[in-house]
Amino acid sequence: MSDSALKFDLCCAARLLYRFGMSVGNAGHLSITLGGNRMLVNRFGPSFATMTPADVLTMDYNGNVLEHDPAVKPYVNETIHLHGVIHRYNPQIAAVAHTHPPAAVTWSAFRTVPQTFDQESCLLTDDIAIVDEDFTGLASSEERLRPFAKALAEKPVVLLPNHGAIATGQQIQACVFRMMLLEGACQRNISVAAAAQATGLKPHPIAHEHALTAKQELAKIPILEPLWEDLLKRLRQTDPDLFSGKRELAHAG
C-alpha cells in the first residue's frame, strides 16, 4: 500500500476508536511501520475525533520527524517513544494502537487478565498480557517502555495498569478490532462482577479449553475484512469530511 493509503487507514482507525468511546481528549497514538527505521504516526494535538492524513507524520524509531505536511506543526511529545521502542524491539509487528479505553483502564487497576464470559471475548483467548508494575509516570523513556515491548513479543494485546492498553497487528485494522474486543471483554467483566454482587449469584466464565475451541472456529470465518467495510460505511455517515479529503487527494493525483 502507498503511504497515503496507510495514512488514510490510520485516520479511519483513529476516528473509529473515538466513535466507540475509546479515546480520551487528545491522548494516544497509532503507528504503522514502513520498515527501515521509519513509521507513520499521528502528531500530538488533534484528537482521534478530528485526525486527518495531514496530521500523520513520518518518523524514525527514535522520535525524530522525517517528513510532515508543511501546513501542520509536527509536534510530538515524549510518549511517542512508546511506538518507536515497540517497533524496534518487535520488527514483526506492523501496526500499534495505544489509547485509554475507559473499561480497560478500570479493569487494569486489578492487574489481572479479564476472564472470558462471552463468545466475542473468546477471540482474545491467550492473547492478553498485563505488565504487572506500579504506574510511575508517563511512558516516555526506554527504561519504562522496555517491559511493554517485551510483553508484546509474546502477546498481541497488553494492559498497562492504571494507564491504558496497547493492541498490535499486521495492519491497523487488526489493532482496532483487538482494542474493541479488549474493551468489550473488560466491560463484560465489570458488569458480571456488579451483577454477581447485586444478586449473590456465582458467575461462570467460559472454560479455557472451550474458549480456545471457539477461537479456532471463529478464526475460520473471514471476520476482519467485512467488519472493516461495515465500519467504514458507518464512518462515511458520521465523518464525511474525512472521505471528502480522500476524494480531493485522488483528484489531485
DSSP 101-148: -HHHHHHHTT-SPPP--STGGGGGTT-EEE--S---S-S-SHHHHHHH
| Tens-place pLDDT, residues 203-216 | 999 999 999 999 99
* Domain layout of the chain by residue ranges: 3-245
| Tens-place pLDDT, residues 107-155 | 999 999 999 999 999 999 999 999 866 766 666 566 778 888 999 999 9
The proportion of the chain whose per-residue pLDDT surpasses 70, expressed as a percent, equals 92
- What is the 8-class DSSP label of residue 181? H
Backbone phi, psi, residue 220, to 5°: -80, -15
* CB 175, CB 96: distance < 8 Å: yes
Residues ≥6 apart with Cβ < 8 Å to 51: 10, 11, 14, 15, 42
Fold of 3-245: L-fuculose-1-phosphate Aldolase (3.40.225)
Residues 223-243: what's their mean pLDDT?
A: 96
> Alpha-carbon distance 170 to 172, whole Å?
7
Residues 90-102: what's their mean pLDDT?
A: 96
> Alpha-carbon distance 32 to 54, whole Å?
15
Number of helices followed by number of strands (H, E) in the chain: 8, 8
Q: How many CA atoms lie within 13 A of 72 on its CB side?
A: 20
Instruction: Decide if pLDDT at 81 tops 90.
Output: no
Give the amino acid at 10. Answer: L
Instruction: Decide if pLDDT at 252 tops 60.
Output: no
